[in-house]
């Protein structure tokens, strides 16, 4: 995760700074640094981070070896493994590999962003004076980076270490680039390798949106082709590569010294996920049963009837994403449903959501799909879905040129006895069944007529590109969510100054917006206790005397990625209470979410759902002391160590206990244990 995030950071953020540098932009950002100064600081921080990554991999590989999972070098191969590898190379790999000579007649091959290749200095057998250079790109997605060798009988020692007890399975892997080095004579007939080494390329993958772009689809198709051939912004070279070969690679790719990294360790650390094997279940998280809301079962699987009876929130991944699919599929099959509207920001490769929408359009229903083609790294897939949906007869809207549609909305309009009933889904995460198994998110279903009207206004705002209508309950970005939250924070400040109970709880992925941060500082100075769960970037500094001593910041890093956004306000009574204001949202507290995207903030008013979000989900996150990190006033994070308080793991709690709103009558006796204690203060000083 760390390695893949760092790659994306370079392909997008660093690429943007380099673009500013090329345009001779010298205006400092809000932290007072020019683009050139930011790049210098980034390079220093990334050097430290990269060393930490490699050190961590070194420790992990030793632990894996002790468990019988080993990454080996060619010298470690047994005769049996070499024989298997030769056969495998001829049968499965040889025809996929394209060795390319680099000379006057042939230019250096294109290596895509994230792609890896092996460089060679080759000498002719019998004529060592004849040396030439060549490159062999690894075909992405065609050959595993880590090739699993066949199982041998018995235990084995490798480099003097016992890797598994007798009778235990042993998994040995060889890097693809090492395999290629073994078969140079087969790939470059008549030559042998004089010098060899692997390298990896990252390219500029940022896409600038031109306001005058008339055809957004055509623009993105062209932009995606440009992205593929974007300029190299980071070249990672195996530090073991001989100097003369390094010079050749750097020269041919036309990269500068500050864009070149000599990696002491493993290139492409994100690929190590291929070494996770199912045969060693003790090394994996234990499986858990994903629940389907019992309350929907009590209505015979009729989602509309269950939602009509009472609002429900589905807590992913503890509760199945199939609820969302069943809701949509029921709408597709129901002759009384005439209209379906849906937003698509990210979804899976074989999306059941898209298939259901296509089926609905083919059956004659009015289907409107808001497809966001500006969803970074998913643009090509979204363009493909858009064409498929249009071919099926759906109305496909690409939203706005100048802002992304990031709201997660679904709407079904049904004729019920001559009266239109509107069923809405409001989510905090993408309509992606794969990430729904590892991201914690909320799916809120309601038949509330006022919310239904508000959701209709939001869809009309996007499809018509006109002003948004009056909203009764929802708040919508641009600007509307920030305005609503600033008003709620101001109300808490007023309560504190009036001597009333006050408090703010927020859960988000990032806190960057300066207006929100300044408002929270004001709340702290007024005596409002503020508890923040911030998974990623946090630009607020908690615990600063006279500024933020009433603010506590923590992050949960565990089995699941915390993704749900929840915003809670005391409203004159101690948190948590039945009168607290509780909202869920698709928006983080970042300028791009609050000012340059279409986002939705939805109030939770149903008492059961309110209790679930506030007193079950939010409170459990605040009380977790097994996988939490705390932030100090210097912006440094330290793992929270539970002392006097009892151990509490939020993820395990939700895996073991049913949710409140999805709990059916048959589970009345199986109420989740009440979490009612106030969260303990978190010390914000490291040490």
Cβ burial of 132 (10 Å; 0-12, 13-18, 19+) is middle
DSSP 8-state class, residue 572: T
Q: Which two tokens stand for residue 247?
A: 């010079």
Nearest Cα neighbor of 425 from 493, 531, 331, 498 is 331
Q: How many other C-beta atoms are found inside a 10 Å radius of the C-beta of residue 391?
A: 12
- H-type alpha helices, 544-637: 591-595, 607-611, 619-623
**Where are the strands (E) in 60-104, listed by range?**
69-72, 100-102
Q: Which two tokens stand for residue 392?
A: 């099926």
Show Cβ contacts of residue 119 under 8 Å, excluding neighbours closer than 6 positions.
Answer: 133, 134, 135, 196, 197, 198, 199, 241, 245, 248, 249
Show Cβ contacts of residue 52 under 8 Å, excluding neighbours closer than 6 positions.
Answer: none
Catalytic residue of the set 133, 315, 316, 406: 406
Residue 202 CA from chain centroid, whole number: 19
CA distance 618 to 220: 39
Q: What letters, b where the CB count within 10 A reaches 16 and e where it falls short, cover 460-485?
A: bbbeeeeebeebeebbbbbebbbebb
Show Cβ contacts of residue 105 under 8 Å, excluding neighbours closer than 6 positions.
Answer: none
CA distance 132 to 678: 71
- 406 flagged as catalytic: yes
CA distance 291 to 311: 18
CA distance 503 to 567: 11
Instruction: Measure Cα distances from 129 to 24, 105, 123, 174, 308 in Å.
Output: 46, 20, 7, 32, 82
Instruction: Measure Cα distances from 368 to 217, 354, 387, 389, 415 in Å.
Output: 17, 11, 13, 9, 18
Max distance between CA atoms of the chain, in angstroms, equals: 92
CA distance 538 to 553: 9
Report whether 113 contacts 203 (CB < 8 A): yes
Strand partners, 637: 631
CA distance 505 to 654: 19
DSSP string, 407-456: -EEEEEEEEETTEEEEEEEEESS-S-TTGGGTEEEEEEEE--HHHHHHHH
SS3 state at 121: strand
Question: How many residues can be counted in the chain?
Answer: 687
* Phi-psi domain of 478 (left: phi exceeds 0; alpha: psi -120 through 50; beta: other): beta
Q: Which two tokens stand for residue 159?
A: 């480099």
Report whether 518 contacts 524 (CB < 8 A): no
Its sign, for the CA torsion 92, 95, 96, 101, is positive
Find where tokens 């009876």 sit: 309
The bridge status of strand 404-405 relative to strand 395-397 is unpaired
Q: Which two tokens stand for residue 222?
A: 């062209």
Q: Which residues are catalytic?
A: 406
């Amino acid at each position: 995760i760390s390695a893949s995030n760092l790659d994306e950071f370079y392909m997008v953020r660093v690429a943007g700074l380099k673009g500013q540098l090329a345009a001779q932009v010298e205006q400092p950002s809000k932290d007072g640094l020019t683009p050139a100064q930011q790049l210098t600081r980034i390079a220093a921080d990334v050097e430290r981070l990269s060393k930490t990554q490699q050190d961590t991999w070194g420790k992990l590989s030793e632990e894996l070896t002790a468990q019988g999972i080993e990454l080996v070098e060619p010298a470690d191969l047994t005769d049996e493994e070499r024989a298997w590898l030769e056969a495998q190379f001829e049968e499965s790999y040889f025809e996929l590999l394209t060795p390319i000579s680099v000379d006057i007649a042939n230019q250096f091959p294109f290596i895509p962003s994230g792609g890896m290749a092996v460089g060679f200095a080759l000498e002719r057998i019998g004529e060592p004076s004849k040396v030439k250079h060549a490159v062999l790109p690894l075909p992405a997605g065609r050959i595993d980076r880590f090739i699993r060798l066949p199982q041998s009988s018995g235990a084995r020692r490798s480099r003097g270490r016992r890797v598994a007890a007798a009778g235990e399975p042993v998994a040995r892997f060889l890097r693809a680039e090492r395999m290629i080095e073994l078969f140079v004579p087969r790939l470059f007939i008549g030559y042998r390798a004089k010098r060899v080494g692997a390298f990896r390329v990252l390219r500029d993958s940022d896409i600038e949106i031109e306001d005058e772009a008339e055809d957004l689809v055509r623009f993105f198709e062209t932009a995606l082709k440009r992205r593929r051939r974007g300029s190299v912004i980071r070249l990672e070279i195996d530090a073991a590569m001989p100097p003369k070969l390094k010079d050749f690679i750097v020269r041919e790719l036309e990269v500068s010294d500050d864009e070149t990294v000599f990696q002491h360790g493993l290139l492409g650390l994100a690929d190590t996920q291929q070494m996770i094997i199912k045969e060693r279940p003790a090394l994996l998280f234990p499986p858990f049963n994903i629940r389907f809301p019992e309350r929907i079962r009590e209505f015979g699987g009729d989602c509309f009837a269950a939602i009509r009876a009472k609002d429900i929130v589905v807590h992913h991944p503890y509760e199945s994403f199939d609820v969302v699919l069943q809701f949509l599929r029921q709408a597709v099959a129901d002759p009384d449903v005439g209209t379906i509207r849906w937003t698509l920001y990210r979804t899976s490769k074989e999306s059941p959501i898209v298939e259901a929408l296509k089926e609905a359009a083919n059956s004659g229903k009015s289907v409107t799909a808001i497809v966001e083609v500006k969803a970074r790294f998913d643009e090509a897939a979204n363009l493909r879905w858009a064409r498929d949906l249009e071919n099926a007869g759906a109305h496909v809207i690409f939203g706005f040129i100048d802002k992304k549609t990031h709201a997660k909305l679904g709407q079904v309009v049904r004729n019920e006895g001559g009266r239109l009933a509107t069923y809405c889904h409001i989510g905090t995460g993408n309509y992606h069944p794969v990430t729904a198994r590892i991201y914690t998110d909320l799916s809120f279903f309601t038949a509330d007529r006022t919310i239904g009207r508000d959701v209709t206004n939001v869809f009309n705002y996007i499809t018509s590109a006109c002003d948004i209508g009056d909203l009764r309950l929802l708040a919508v970005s641009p600007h509307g969510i920030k305005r609503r939250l600033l008003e709620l924070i101001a109300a808490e400040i007023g309560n504190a100054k009036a001597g009333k109970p006050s408090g703010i709880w927020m859960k988000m992925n990032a806190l960057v917006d300066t207006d929100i941060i300044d408002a929270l500082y004001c709340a702290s100075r007024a005596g409002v206790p503020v508890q923040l769960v911030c998974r990623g970037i946090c630009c607020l500094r908690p615990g600063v005397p006279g500024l933020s001593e009433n603010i506590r910041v923590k992050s949960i890093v565990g089995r699941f990625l915390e993704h749900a956004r929840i915003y809670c306000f005391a409203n004159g009574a101690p948190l948590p209470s039945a009168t607290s204001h509780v909202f869920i949202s698709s928006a983080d507290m970042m300028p791009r979410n609050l000012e340059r995207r279409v986002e939705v903030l939805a109030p939770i008013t149903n008492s059961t759902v309110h209790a679930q979000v506030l007193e079950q989900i939010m409170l459990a996150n605040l009380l977790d002391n097994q996988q939490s990190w705390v932030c100090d006033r210097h912006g440094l994070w330290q793992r929270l160590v539970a002392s006097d308080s009892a151990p509490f793991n939020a993820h395990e709690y939700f895996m073991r206990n049913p949710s409140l709103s999805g709990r059916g009558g048959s589970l009345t006796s199986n109420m989740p244990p009440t979490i009612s204690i106030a969260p303990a203060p978190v010390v914000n000083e490291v040490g």
